[in-house]
């Protein structure tokens, strides 16, 4: 009878487990990748060489989305037009940025990684090249791996396309010297990175960005970097994902 009791007990436990709502871990992802085209017409970003960052970012994001979907990854964009995601009307500028970035992270849903697409702009027009930021205090190891894959592939495809971009490396977002510390865009519930593709304020970088092949090369850099990262993510995603995943080669 004791044995029957154990069996009945086990059956009851199984029933309870079966009836229980899915735990957080078994909730499927909304998409493999969240892509964030930085800025909007309200918060233009860098300007130079006749280019405005919010427009170049969206153009790049749409190209990256196409390339990743061709590799059978699913992609959610934080914005697909030039408007902001939040009202952008908070009187405090830092709060305004925080609210906007949180809205963008929420907009892509649950994703395996989040990549913010940006281009640089600084007062000194001699500064040029590609750099990638990550938040060492948020999925630090994975975020570094994502940032490293993006930076390495980005510089490599630009050189392949004939533009010898300066490799400014992978950097902690704290080195950007923001008064609020870590970038708000790199505080979401997944590994994340921000790529600053080239400098709009550098004449040579800006000239390169007027060429369609260079724009496409940058998109390819994002696509390869993200694919490399996801191919190495053995623990991320539900088991059924492994079947549909493209070969990293």
Residues of this chain that bind Zn ion (CB under 5 A): 38, 45, 118
Q: CB of 17: closest distance to Zn ion in angstroms?
A: 47
Determine whether 241 is exposed, middle or buried from the number of CB atoms within 10 Å of its CB (0-12, 13-18, 19+): middle
Q: CB of 195: closest distance to Zn ion in angstroms?
A: 10
Nearer residue to Zn ion within complex by CB, 121 or 191? 121
CA distances from 36 to 62, 79, 165, 185, 223 (A): 10, 7, 23, 9, 14
Nearer residue to Zn ion within complex by CB, 53 or 220? 53
Nearer residue to Zn ion within complex by CB, 45 or 129? 45
- Between vectors from CA 221 to CA 58 and to CA 31, what angle results, nearest 5°? 60
Q: CB of 89: closest distance to Zn ion in angstroms?
A: 20
Residue 238 is classified by DSSP as -
Q: CB of 39: closest distance to Zn ion in angstroms?
A: 5
Q: CB of 25: closest distance to Zn ion in angstroms?
A: 34
Distance CA(220)–CA(227), nearest Å, equals: 10
Nearer residue to Zn ion within complex by CB, 45 or 49? 45
CB 228 within 8 A of CB 157: no
CB 67 within 8 A of CB 220: yes
Nearer residue to Zn ion within complex by CB, 197 or 225? 197
Nearer residue to Zn ion within complex by CB, 129 or 227? 129
Q: CB of 45: closest distance to Zn ion in angstroms?
A: 4
Q: E strands along 121-181, which residues?
A: 130-134, 167-172
CA 78 to chain centre: 10
Nearest partner of 104 among 177, 190, 22, judged by Cα: 190
Nearest partner of 189 among 132, 142, 241, judged by Cα: 142
**Which residue has its beta carbon closest to Zn ion?**
118
CB 194 within 8 A of CB 135: no
């Amino acid at each position: 009878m004791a044995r029957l009791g154990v069996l009945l007990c086990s059956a009851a436990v199984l029933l309870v487990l079966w009836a229980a709502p899915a735990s957080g871990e078994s909730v499927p992802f909304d998409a493999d990748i969240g892509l964030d085209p930085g800025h909007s017409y309200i918060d233009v970003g860098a300007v130079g060489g006749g280019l405005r960052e919010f427009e170049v970012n969206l153009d790049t994001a749409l190209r990256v989305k196409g390339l990743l979907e061709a590799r059978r990854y699913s992609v959610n964009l934080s914005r697909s037009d030039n408007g902001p995601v939040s009202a952008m009307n908070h009187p405090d500028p830092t709060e305004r940025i925080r609210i906007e970035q949180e809205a963008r992270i929420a907009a892509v849903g649950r994703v395996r990684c989040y990549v913010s697409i940006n281009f640089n702009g600084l007062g000194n027009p001699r500064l040029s090249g590609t750099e990638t930021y990550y938040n060492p205090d948020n999925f630090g190891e994975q975020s570094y791996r994502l940032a490293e894959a993006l930076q390495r592939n980005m510089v490599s495809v630009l050189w392949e396309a004939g533009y010898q971009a300066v490799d400014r490396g992978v950097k902690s977002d704290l080195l950007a010297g923001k008064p609020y510390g870590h970038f708000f865009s790199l505080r979401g519930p997944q590994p994340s990175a921000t790529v600053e593709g080239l400098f709009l304020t550098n004449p040579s970088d800006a000239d390169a960005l007027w060429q369609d092949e260079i724009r496409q090369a940058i998109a390819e850099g994002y696509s390869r970097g993200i694919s490399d990262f996801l191919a190495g993510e053995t623990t991320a995603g539900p088991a059924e994902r492994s079947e549909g995943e493209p070969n990293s080669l």
